[in-house]
Structure 1
Amino acid sequence: METIALDPESLSRRTVRYSYSSERYYDLVIENDSDRWTVDLLLKEFPAPFVKEESYNLLDPFKEHPIAYGAFDGCKELGLILFEREWNNSLRIWDILVWEECRRMGVGRKLMDAARDYAITSGMRRLVLETQSCNYPAISFYLKYGFELAGFDTPVIQTKILKDARSASSFTIFSRSNAGIQEVSLLNIRQSAKRHLYSNSLTSNDLNSICSRISNR
């Protein structure tokens, strides 16, 4: 398996479908008692597995200058990661996509390594991304990779998630790295990376171009 830098324009017409299933979620409880705020993040179980599916254009308009890497086994695409430099010397991860048949193969970690290495060599001070509080598998992956909690998008975090599967909430995490990045964090953009598990396929032109690049390496 190897990661290869891709031309973002080659992804401009791709529509991806992502899905995930989660048996747990984090419920945010905020209380204000005169002179202090209390914030609790409680891990709870859904009464039945929560399943979310959504399709979207890979290069949404808000991704102004995306950088893309793909994970490949020979000519087979296993997944993609898109990220972008921000004004405060941060590297925002917009998407980390692992195709359904390629899960549990270390693809996600390989893609995250590509973003981390790019941030280090570019002198970036942190990585940033967002996921949903109901996407327990994604949260577990990010925490295992070294990310830690940074904040919340509170308007969309409510136990309403139990009543309406579409009201999934935002969850933000951050961490520190000793590998050249002073601070690695995950911050909120409501539209950003809700995505962790996806399914999609390459066009024949995309595949031919990538195979040609691999053979010339």
Structure 2
Amino acid sequence: MQDTLSISPDSGITLRPLQWPQDGARLKDFDASYSSPVIYEVAQDGMAFSLQQIVLPEPFLKCYPMDDIAEDVADADASWVAEDSDGKLAGLATVEYQEWNHSLLISGIFVTPAYKQKGIGRALLGLIDAFARKTPARCLQLETQNTNVPAIHFYLKQGFRLCGINTGLYDPAQVHPHEAALYFTRDLQRD
């Protein structure tokens, strides 16, 4: 695989492997936030869970702590960045191979708000797919929040399916009181 790829000739966005620690300092200014006018409320009835989309009076905004993202990068087996023609980071993806269950955990795909809806997430996922095919992984897995509806829709559109919910993963003192983890998986397509 080439070291640098372009999303499209006229996009001005290139993808390349993240270089640590050189790119580490640039991560402190990376905006991995998202906002959504709706969230999925998790309801539990005995052993069953359901998700109901709720329109919010004000958009939900979440800003991820950059220390956590830097930690994900340090722990990753592979990571990539998308950058614009001025060298500004527009996206980031990190993955870890999980030997115990032969899966590739997508620990993060982030696109800065100014660059959303430009194909960067899909291009980063393409790099993840190519990396995964070089491993014994049988599937891709990830976790996102019920409040991150744009990410949920993106993953569903990319062929992932919801496979689990954890309503107690996050500390309610640090996040939205009803924030829950949603787990997604997609079988790895081999050539």
TM tier relative to shorter chain = 0.7 to 0.9
Query: Are the equivalent residues in 1 in contact too, given 2:138–2:187 (CA < 8 A)?
Result: no
Q: SS state of the match for residue 65, structure 2?
A: strand
- Within the candidate set 11, 15, 18, 2:32 is matched to 18
Which secondary structure state, in structure 2, belongs to the residue aligned with residue 10 of structure 1? coil
Unaligned runs of 5+ in 1: 182-217
Q: Equivalents in 2 of 1:40, 1:120: separation in Å? A: 33
TM-score, L = length of structure 2: 0.76
State the superposition RMSD in angstroms.
Answer: 2.6
Distance (Å, rounded) in 2 between the aligned partners of 1:7 and 1:74: 17
Specify which of 66, 78, 81 is matched with residue 56 of structure 1. Answer: 66
| 1:80 equivalenced with 2:92 (yes/no) | yes
Q: Determine if contact 1:149/1:175 at 8 Å carries over to the other structure.
A: no
Instruction: Give the conservation status (yes or no) of the 8 Å contact 1:93–1:128.
Output: yes
- Structure 2, unmatched stretches of 5+, are 1-5, 7-13
Q: Does the residue aligned with 1:141 lie in a helix, a strand or coil?
A: helix
Q: For residues 47-83 of structure 1, what are the alpha-carbon distances to aligned partners after superposition, in whole Å with 9 as ceiling and x for unaligned?
A: 3211222332232179534411122455634312111
Instruction: Tell me the secondary structure at the aligned position of residue 48 of structure 1.
Output: strand
Distance 1:42 1:100 in 2: 25
Segment drifting more, 116-125 vs 74-83: 74-83
TM-score with structure 1 setting the length? 0.68
Report the AA paired with residue 117 of structure 1.
Answer: A
> 2:95 corresponds to which letter in structure 1?
F
Q: What code does the residue aligned with 2:165 have? A: F
Question: Residues 3-53 of structure 1: CA distance to partner in whole angstroms, max 9, x if unpaired?
Answer: 322333333443244221111111222222xxxx33222222223211222
Give me the whole-angstrom Cα distance separating, in 2, the residues matched to 1:119 and 1:169: 27
Provide the aligned length of Structure 1 versus Structure 2: 171
Q: In structure 2, the residue corresponding to 1:168 is in which secondary structure? A: coil
2:115 corresponds to which residue?
102
| Alpha-carbon offset, residue 176 of structure 1 | 2.9
Q: Give the aligned residue type for 1:52.
A: K
- Asked if 1:133 corresponds to 2:146, the answer is yes
**Secondary structure at the residue paired with 1:129?**
strand
2:15 corresponds to 1:8 = no
Q: Residues 10 and 128 of structure 1: is their aligned pair in 2 closer, same or farther, counting only changes over 3 Å?
A: farther
Q: 2:103 maps to what in 1?
A: 90
Displacement of 1:180 in angstroms is 1.1
CA contact (8 A) 2:35 2:62 kept: yes
1:29-68 correspondence to structure 2 within 5 Å: 29-32=43-46, 37-57=47-67, 58-60=69-71, 64-68=75-79
Partner Cα separation in structure 1 for residue 187 and residue 72 of structure 2: 30
Contact 1:8–1:68 at 8 Å: present in 2 too?
no
1:111 aligns with 2:124: yes
Q: Following the alignment from structure 1 to structure 2, what is the Cα–Cα distance between the partners of residues 53 and 3?
A: 23
- d(CA) in 2 for partners of 1:31 and 1:53? 31
> How much has 1:96 moved relative to structure 2?
1.2
Determine the structure 2 residue equivalent to 1:196: none
- Percent identity, aligned pairs only, is 27
Does residue 176 (structure 1) correspond to residue 187 (structure 2)? The answer is yes
